[in-house]
């Protein structure tokens, strides 16, 4: 059994969908399950729809219509028969989205987000499934929410592994090519949940774990795992083989090519992960597998943009001790802040965070009751794995360094 995952960039338009079919024809698709993301930037556009629902309802229908128009334009390019059932199926999905916004009574942003954001995946997987069937690649469209069960921690749900494994073992027909959605699950009440942004990789790993798959392949617009994101760094180099441990480290620090949670279930069953280019499906790509020696011999650069650096000091110059640090982390947990770096001295404590849930102002008000607070927004967090002096010097050039932390094998630098 193989698991393939295709991200939004790989299916951003009609040519992308056709290329997905060519990848399957080139590599084969027996005993295969395909996980797909929303097309192109649909998820970002759906986030604008949700924002309009809460803040600017007069723009809500216009934002939905634009997404619907683009998908209909894609349908016209893929299906010559204008009466094909796919047109009806896609219309029904948009009708369902509109019906939710009309009937919803919940003021909870995170709940509304999870009930609506995944329509991008439902729509893309429906289109792809129909197209593949039309050209003779027979497949079955399956709703991932019937298989992956989670808690109701909306926008970053935790998998109920026992129930999920039982659902997949009992209900998934592995004798046919299956097309399903990434990023989504459902809770005990069958409300839709999400696994975190870019969570489609994790979906692929969940299925692989539960099916004891032979491999997982993530199809990207890059030739594999690179030592740096080519959007931000020049002369990025391909890493042909790396260990699970190294990949987990890179993902933890924010390497966008692999979702942070993806590697853990694969490592437990020693299922190899391949990262390959959908533009060159026969290329070697990168293999992530068991092996302590599979460590890059060159520095690996990671950048996380739009982070927040908070620096705290005691109001009376007293030491920041365990009790204070415990209080700080309790607040970070309360306001759902993802912590990327911490640094402390006798009378100061700094933390670089990701304000995913937009709770920064409430957190700062709470902290100011006990500490002197300095907050830098829109900072960049750079991490270099296997650094050397020249790599650090090159990175710091022409930047204002706000925080720097060196550990064995890794340096993290926050810049403005």
Q: State residue 297's pLDDT score.
A: 86
Can you give the pLDDT at residue 293?
63
More confident of the two residues 86 and 408: 86
Q: Does position 251 have pLDDT exceeding 90, yes or no?
A: no
Domain termination site, one of 164, 197, 220: 220
Residue 48 has pLDDT above 90, yes or no: yes
Q: Is residue 152 part of a domain?
A: yes
Q: Cα–Cα distance between 312 and 328 in angstroms, integer?
A: 10
Report the alpha-carbon distance of residue 366 to residue 266 in Å, rounded: 40
Looking at the structure, tell me whether residues 63 and 199 fall in a common domain: yes
Answer yes or no: do 203 and 348 share one domain.
no
What's residue 267's pLDDT?
A: 95
In the listed set 199, 220, 241, which residue is the last one of a domain according to the structure?
220
**Residue 108: which of 191, 200, 202, 197 has the closest Cα?**
191
- Is the model's pLDDT at 278 over the cut of 80? yes
Both 311 and 214 in one domain: the answer is no
In a 10 Å sphere around its CB, with 0-12 CB exposed, 13-18 middle and 19+ buried, how is residue 370 labelled? middle
Q: At residue 292, does pLDDT exceed 70?
A: no
Indicate if 216 and 304 belong to the same structural domain. Answer: no
Q: What is the pTM of this model?
A: 0.86
User: Domain check: are 75 and 183 in the same one?
Assistant: yes
Average pLDDT over residues 251-265: 85
> What's 329's domain CATH number?
3.30.2130.10
62-113: pLDDT as tens digits? 999 999 999 999 999 999 999 999 999 999 999 999 999 999 999 999 999 9
Query: What pLDDT is recorded for position 68?
Result: 98
CA distance 273 to 219: 11
Residue 255 has what pLDDT?
83
Of 180, 202, 220, the position where a domain reaches its end is 220
Q: What is the pLDDT of residue 7?
A: 94
Percent share of the chain, pLDDT over 70: 100
Instruction: Select the more confidently predicted residue: 318 or 164.
Output: 164
Q: Are residues 64 and 200 in the same domain?
A: yes
Per the domain annotation, does 292 fall within a domain? no
Whether 199 and 329 map to the same domain: the answer is: no
**Domain count of the chain?**
2
What CA–CA distance (Å, rounded) separates 186 from 195?
A: 10
pLDDT of residue 259: 78
Q: Give yes or no for residue 317 having a pLDDT over 90.
A: no
Provide the pLDDT for residue 380.
98
279 occurs within a structural domain: no
Share of the chain above pLDDT 90, in %: 91
Which residue range forms the structural domain that includes residue 387? 300-415
Same domain, 23 and 120: yes
Examine residue 398 and state whether it is found in any structural domain, yes or no: yes
Decide if 30 is inside a domain. Answer: yes
- 352-392 pLDDT, tens digit each: 999 989 999 999 999 999 999 999 999 999 999 999 999 99
pLDDT of residue 163: 98
Q: Is residue 125 part of a domain?
A: yes
Q: Do 179 and 305 have their domain in common?
A: no
pLDDT at 291: 80
pLDDT tens, position by position, 186-235: 999 999 999 987 799 999 999 999 999 999 999 999 999 999 999 899 99
- CATH (domain of 177): 3.40.1160.10
Q: What is the mean pLDDT of residues 135-159?
A: 97
Q: What is the arithmetic mean of pLDDT over 130-140?
A: 98
- What is the per-residue pLDDT for 17? 98
| Range of lowest pLDDT (89-98, 244-253, 268-277) | 244-253
The torsion angles phi and psi of 69, rounded to 5 degrees, stand at -60, -45
């Amino acid at each position: 059994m193989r698991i393939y995952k295709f991200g939004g960039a790989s299916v951003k338009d009609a040519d992308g969908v056709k290329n997905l079919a060519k990848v399957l024809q080139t590599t084969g698709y027996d005993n295969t399950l395909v996980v797909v993301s929303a097309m192109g930037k649909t998820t970002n556009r759906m986030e604008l729809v949700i924002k309009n629902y809460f803040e600017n309802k007069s723009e809500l229908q216009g934002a939905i219509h634009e997404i619907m128009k683009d998908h209909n334009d894609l349908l016209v390019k893929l299906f010559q028969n204008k009466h094909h059932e796919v047109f009806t199926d896609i219309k029904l999905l948009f009708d369902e989205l509109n019906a939710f916004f009309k009937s919803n009574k919940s003021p909870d942003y995170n709940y509304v987000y999870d009930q609506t954001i995944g329509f991008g995946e439902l729509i893309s997987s429906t289109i792809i499934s129909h197209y593949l069937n039309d050209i003779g690649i027979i497949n079955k469209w399956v709703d991932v929410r019937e298989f992956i069960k989670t808690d109701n921690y909306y926008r970053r749900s935790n998998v109920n592994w026992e129930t999920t494994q039982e659902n997949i073992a009992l209900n998934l027909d592995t004798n046919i090519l299956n097309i399903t959605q990434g990023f989504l699950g459902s809770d005990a009440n069958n409300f839709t949940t999400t696994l975190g942004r870019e969570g489609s990789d994790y979906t692929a790993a969940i299925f692989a774990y539960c099916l004891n798959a032979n491999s997982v392949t993530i199809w990207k617009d890059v030739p594999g795992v690179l030592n740096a994101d080519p959007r931000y760094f020049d002369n990025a180099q391909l890493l042909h083989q790396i260990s699970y441990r190294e990949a987990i480290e890179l993902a933890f620090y924010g390497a966008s090519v692999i979702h942070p949670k993806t590697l853990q279930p694969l490592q437990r069953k020693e299922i190899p992960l391949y990262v390959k280019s959908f533009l060159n499906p026969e290329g070697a790509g990168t293999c992530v597998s068991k092996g302590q020696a599979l460590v890059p011999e060159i520095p690996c650069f990671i950048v996380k943009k739009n982070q927040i650096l908070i620096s705290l000091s005691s109001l009376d110059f007293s030491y920041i001790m365990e009790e204070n640090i415990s209080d700080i982390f309790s607040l970070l947990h309360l306001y759902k802040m993802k912590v990327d770096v911490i640094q402390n001295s006798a009378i100061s404590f700094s933390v670089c965070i990701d304000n995913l849930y937009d709770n920064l102002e409430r957190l700062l008000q709470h902290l100011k009751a006990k500490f002197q607070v300095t907050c830098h927004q829109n900072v960049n967090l750079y991490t270099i794995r296997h650094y050397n002096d020249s790599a650090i010097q090159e990175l710091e050039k022409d930047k204002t360094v706000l925080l720097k932390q060196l550990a064995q094998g890794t340096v993290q630098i926050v810049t403005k």
